[in-house]
Amino acid sequence: MAEVQRRVAAELDRLGPVIDELGARFADAGEELALVGGPVRDAMLGRLQNDLDFATSARPDVTERLLKGWADAIWDMGRDFGTIGARFGPWQVEITTYRSESYDPSSRKPDVDFGDSLAGDLGRRDFTVNAMAVSVPGRVFEDPHGGLLDLAERTLRTPGRPEDSFSDDPLRMMRAARFAAQLGFTVAPEVVAAMTRMAGRIEIISAERVRDELVKLVCAPHPRLGLTLLVETGLAEHVLPELPALALERDEHHRHKDVYEHTLTVLEQTIDQEERLGGEPDFVSRFAALMHDVGKPRTRRFESGGVVTFHHHDVVGAKITRKRMRALRFANAEIDAVARLVELHLRFHGYGSGEWTDSAVRRYVRDAGDQLERLHILTRADCTTRNERKAARLRRTYDELEARIARLSEEEELAAIRPDLDGNQIMSILGIGPGREVGEAYSWLLELRMDEGPKSAAEAEAALRQWWADRQA
């Protein structure tokens, strides 16, 4: 406990230019102000941050007035919810009037009522570890719901009955899974039970809010914890049903892998390789790992001799992935990137022990496009065999493929691969104007480039003229 007190004191000293000055401004105006939620929790965990949340007795108009002359910039997009934002040097602050909010059973939007006390405001927060506060400028610690003890025990618990909390805002069930993934905390049994009973209530929450929580969960340090909680409580059936569907019933001879556990392992092995992308959490890679086998339930077939097959699950999985990501309102660029990785994740297995021609390697690079590095990661992560000899062989073979790609890229600029002649040259050589035939010629030259590698302008022109003559014959 002494160490926690030391960390908090040091963090409050670091934040002094913000919390002391703001606290004095509000106090002089007869208003209360308190640092609340995540910043207080993170100070106790030793996690420094410059995004600060405050709760106040002041109404938004008063808050805005008190910020003028102090903040470098002020914005009020959250005014309807009682929130005024500001920037002061390196700090971003959001100051929200004490409030209580709840959902009508059939509504996706909260009804917001302003409250009149810090205790009431803390009581409506999602978890006890987020229901602690430091009143300023006096720096008085407030913990009416035992958040400090839960923080020490690394447990997520709600300030009141979890059923009441989740009824007020069903998205808090998703947040429980997200905080478990972010902090590595255990969710209290009564909270898990309430999530299980009330899982269907998540349906009233907008797809965009669910998506945002899912992204934070997947990008957290321990996503397996959060995803497992979603599956075990039944929430995943409503927000990402493809995940629990991977827990296929195994055939009586146990001749195929547990696809669900395999998927979580692939996710973790993807995370282990993120230094290839700069080291930061990469949602596209992680979500592709999570979705790469979602086509298996639909394509599973039992054949003679107890053999289980999943033919074309890559193509089917890519379609399922697109449909799910559209339903969650992801941007088209993210949808395209993840779906492409899902569709290509099996391509390497046709490489054998190196039988691909240079042409096949070029096509692999072309089809991966700007997702090539992520495809390398996913393909490597997809090896979860316990047979170390087999795993080592696959690693060596993929090392060889990457080396061939590097060599060809250096020789031929694979990343920017194009035909040896452009559209204007094609029209000039063939004496034709813009139209379908130019596109067909361009496509043919691209395939030629893939099959035979780069050619000189003279060689490409001769090949094109021959192709054109054969067409006219």
pLDDT value at residue 440: 84
Query: What are 18's two structure tokens?
Result: 């913000």
- Same domain for 215 and 268, yes or no, is no
- Same domain for 380 and 249, yes or no, is yes
DSSP class per residue in 112-146: EEE-S-HHHHHHTSS-GGGS-EEEETTTEEE-TT-
Residue 97's SS3 state is strand
69: left (phi over 0), alpha (psi -120 to 50) or beta: left
- Same domain for 207 and 270, yes or no, is no
The average pLDDT across 441-460 equals 82
Q: pLDDT digits over 119-129, tens only? A: 999 998 999 99
Among candidate residues 116, 147, 115, the one with its CA nearest the CA of residue 36 = 147
pLDDT value at residue 414: 55
- Same domain for 140 and 32, yes or no, is yes
Q: pLDDT digits over 13-28, tens only? A: 888 889 999 999 999 9
Half-sphere exposure for 265 (CA within 13 Å, toward CB): 12
- Same domain for 43 and 147, yes or no, is yes
The percentage of residues in the chain with a pLDDT greater than 70, rounded to a whole number, is 93
- Same domain for 41 and 118, yes or no, is yes
pLDDT value at residue 416: 57
User: CATH code at 311?
Assistant: 1.10.3210
The average pLDDT across 207-211 equals 96
Listed residues 153, 170, 200: the one ending a domain: 153
Query: What are 252's two structure tokens?
Result: 């009586």
Parent domain of 23: 1-153
- Same domain for 147 and 3, yes or no, is yes
- Same domain for 292 and 430, yes or no, is no
pLDDT value at residue 413: 59
Q: pLDDT digits over 128-187, tens only? A: 999 999 999 999 999 999 999 999 999 999 999 999 999 989 999 999 999 999 999 999
Residues whose CB is less than 8 angstroms from the CB of residue 202 and which lie 6 or more positions away in sequence, other chains included: 170, 171, 173, 174, 210, 235, 238, 239
The CA-to-CA distance between both ends of the chain, in Å, stands at 88
Q: pLDDT digits over 267-311, tens only? A: 999 999 999 999 899 999 999 999 999 999 888 888 777 778 788
Q: pLDDT digits over 320-370, tens only? A: 999 999 999 999 999 999 999 999 999 988 777 777 888 888 889 888 989
Residues paired with residue 130 on neighbouring β-strands, in sequence order: none
For 250, which DSSP code? P
Among candidate residues 105, 122, 100, 96, the one with its CA nearest the CA of residue 26 = 96
Cis peptide bond upstream of 137, omega within 30: yes
Better pLDDT: 105 or 391: 391
Alpha-carbon distances of 329 from 103, 236, 370, 404, rounded to whole Å: 22, 17, 22, 38
Instruction: State pTM to two decimals.
Output: 0.82
| Burial status of residue 179 (CB atoms within 10 A of its CB: 0-12, 13-18, 19 or more) | buried
Alpha-carbon distances of 217 from 191, 286, 372, 446, rounded to whole Å: 18, 11, 25, 42
CA–CA dist 455, 449 (Å, integer): 8
CA–CA dist 190, 137 (Å, integer): 37
The residue type at 364: Y
| Sheet with 73-75: strands ordered across | 73-75, 83-88, 91-97, 51-56, 33-36, 133-136, 140-142
pLDDT value at residue 341: 97
- Same domain for 159 and 71, yes or no, is no
- Same domain for 2 and 69, yes or no, is yes
Better pLDDT: 430 or 201: 201
Is the CA virtual torsion 395, 399, 404, 409 positive or negative? positive
Query: What are 41's two structure tokens?
Result: 């929790």
Alpha-carbon distances of 249 from 168, 243, 255, 260, 393, rounded to whole Å: 36, 14, 11, 11, 30
Please state, rounded to an integer, the average pLDDT across all residues of the chain: 89
User: CATH code at 72?
Assistant: 3.30.460.10
pLDDT value at residue 434: 86
pLDDT value at residue 254: 45
Residues paired with residue 53 on neighbouring β-strands, in sequence order: 94
- Same domain for 120 and 203, yes or no, is no
Half-sphere exposure for 408 (CA within 13 Å, toward CB): 26
pLDDT value at residue 101: 58
Q: pLDDT digits over 413-440, tens only? A: 555 567 778 888 888 888 888 888 888 8
In the chain, the number of structural domains is 4
Q: For residue 255, is pLDDT > 50?
A: no
Q: Which of 69-73, 215-219, 430-434 has the highest mean pLDDT?
A: 215-219
Among candidate residues 423, 425, 413, 404, the one with its CA nearest the CA of residue 453 = 413
Long-range contacts formed by 305-309: CB under 8 A, 24+ apart = 306/251, 306/253, 306/255, 307/255, 308/251, 308/255, 308/256
CA–CA dist 225, 294 (Å, integer): 20
pLDDT value at residue 102: 54
Is residue 222 within 8 Å of residue 275, measured between CB atoms? no
CA–CA dist 117, 57 (Å, integer): 7
Residue 285's SS3 state is helix
Listed residues 205, 240, 275: the one ending a domain: 240
pLDDT value at residue 92: 95
Query: What are 80's two structure tokens?
Result: 């309807």
Q: For residue 109, is pLDDT > 90?
A: no
Query: What are 220's two structure tokens?
Result: 């957290």
φ, ψ (nearest 5 deg) of residue 233: -90, -10
pLDDT value at residue 211: 97
Residues paired with residue 86 on neighbouring β-strands, in sequence order: 74, 93
- Same domain for 210 and 281, yes or no, is no
User: CATH code at 167?
Assistant: 1.10.110.30
| Burial status of residue 336 (CB atoms within 10 A of its CB: 0-12, 13-18, 19 or more) | middle
Q: pLDDT digits over 220-234, tens only? A: 999 999 999 999 999
